[in-house]
A and B are shown apart, each in its own frame.
Chain A
Amino acid sequence: MSEPARAREIVVALAGQPNVGKSTVFNLLTGLSQHVGNWPGKTVERKEGTLERDHVCVRVVDLPGSYALSANSEEERVARDFILRGQPDVVVMIADASALERSLYLLTELLVLPVPVVLGLNMMDLAESQGIELEPHVLEAALRVPVVPLVARRALGVSELLDAALRLARAPQDFSPVRPEIAEPHRAVLARVRALLAARVPPPYRAEWVALKLLEGDREIAALARTWLPAEAWQEIDALLRRHEDAVLDVAGGRYEWIGRMLRAAVKRPRLGQLTLTDRLDRIAVHPLWGMMLLLAVFALVFGATFLLGVPLQEWLNVAVVLPLRDALRAALADSPAWLMALIADGVLGGAGLVLTFLPILVVFFAALALLEETGYLARAAYVMDRFMHVLGLHGKSFLPLFLGFGCNVPAVMGARVIESRSGRLLTILLAPLVPCSARLAVLAFLVPVFFHAWALPVALAFVVANLVVLAAVGVVLNHTLFRGEHAAFIMELPLYRLPAAASIARFVGANTLAFLRKAGGLILAFAAIVWALGYFPGQGLEHSFLARFGRALAPLGSLLGLDWRMLVALLTSFVAKENAVATLGILYGAGAGGAGLTASLAAQVAPASALSFLAATMLFIPCAATVAVMRQETGSWRWTLFGVCILLVIALLAAILVYQGCRVLGFGLTHA
Chain B
Amino acid sequence: MASRPLVSLLELPSGAKAVVRALAGGPEFAGRLTAMGVAAGAPLEVLQNRAHGPVLILVRGTRIALGRGEAAKVLVEAQ
Contacts and interface: CB of A to CB of B under 8 A. Distances in A.
Given A249-B23, A286-B48, A491 B61 contact: no
B13 interface: no
B16 interface: no
A102 interface: yes
A282 B47 contact: yes
Interface string A116-142: 000000000000001000000000000
Nearest to B37: A102
Contact of A67 (B28, B32, B41, B61): B32
Enumerate the 4 nearest inter-chain pairs by beta-carbon distance, A residue then B residue, closest first: A217-B27, A490-B67, A68-B35, A252-B34
B31 A217 contact: yes
Interface string B25-57: 011111111111101111000011010111010
A99 B62 contact: yes
B64 A245 contact: no
A390 interface: yes
A380 to B, nearest CB: 9
A102 B63 CA distance: 11
B66 interface: yes
- Chain B CB within 10 Å, residue with most, of A72, A73, A98: A72
B31 A490 contact: no
Given A383-B65, A387-B52, A494-B63, A256 B31 contact: no
A428 interface: no
Contacts of A218: 27, 31
Nearest to A247: B27
25 contacts: A67-B35, A68-B35, A70-B31, A72-B32, A72-B35, A99-B61, A99-B62, A101-B60, A106-B35, A217-B27, A217-B28, A219-B28, A252-B31, A253-B41, A255-B39, A257-B41, A271-B61, A282-B63, A288-B52, A383-B65, A386-B65, A386-B67, A387-B53, A490-B70, A494-B63
B32 A101 contact: no
Interface string A355-398: 00000000000000000000000010011101100100000000
A452 B61 CA distance: 59
B5 interface: no
A248 B29 CA distance: 10
Contact of B61 (A101, A219, A382): A101
Contacts, number: 129
Given A67-B36, A105-B37, A253-B39, A248 B31 contact: yes
Interface string B55-79: 0100111111111011000000000
A383 B31 contact: no
A216 interface: yes
Contacts of A282: 47, 63
A492 B35 contact: no
A271 B58 CA distance: 13
B22 A249 contact: yes
A530 B36 CA distance: 51
Contact of A492 (B48, B53, B59, B64): B64
A493 interface: yes
Contact of B69 (A98, A271, A489, A494): A489
Contact of B40 (A70, A98, A252, A382): A252
A278 B35 contact: no
A121 B76 CA distance: 31
B36 to A, nearest CB: 5
B47 to A, nearest CB: 7
Given A70-B28, A70-B35, A216-B27, 20 more contacts: A68-B32, A72-B28, A101-B61, A102-B59, A216-B31, A248-B30, A253-B40, A256-B41, A282-B47, A286-B48, A386-B53, A386-B67, A387-B53, A489-B29, A489-B67, A490-B65, A491-B36, A491-B64, A494-B56, A494-B64
Contact of A249 (B39, B59, B63): B39
A493 to B, nearest CB: 6
Nearest to A73: B32
B6 to A, nearest CB: 13
A135 to B, nearest CB: 18
A420 to B, nearest CB: 11
A102 B38 CA distance: 9
Nearest to B32: A72
B38 to A, nearest CB: 9
B35 A493 contact: no
Interface of B: 22-23, 26-37, 39-42, 47-48, 50, 52-54, 56, 59-67, 69-70
A255 B65 CA distance: 23
B31 A72 contact: yes
Contacts of B62: 99, 102, 493
Q: From A130, A288, A489, name the one whose CB has the most chain B CB atoms within 10 angstroms.
A: A489
A383 B54 contact: yes
B76 to A, nearest CB: 13
Contacts of A288: 50, 52-53
Contacts of A493: 36, 62-65
Contacts of B30: 217, 248-249, 252
A252 B39 contact: yes
A99 B67 contact: no
A604 to B, nearest CB: 54
Given A383-B65, A386-B53, A494-B63, A101 B29 contact: no
Contact of A390 (B42, B59, B64, B67): B67
Contacts of B48: 286
Contacts of B66: 490-491
Nearest to A382: B65
Contacts of B42: 256
- B27, B29, B33, B36 pick with most chain A CB within 10 angstroms: B27
Contacts of B39: 249, 252-253, 255-256
Nearest to A245: B27
A248 B34 contact: yes
A489 B55 CA distance: 13
Given A286-B56, A387-B52, A387-B53, A491 B31 contact: no
Contacts of A257: 41
A489 B32 contact: yes
A491 B32 contact: yes
Nearest to B28: A72
Interface string A55-74: 00000000000011011110
A421 B60 CA distance: 25
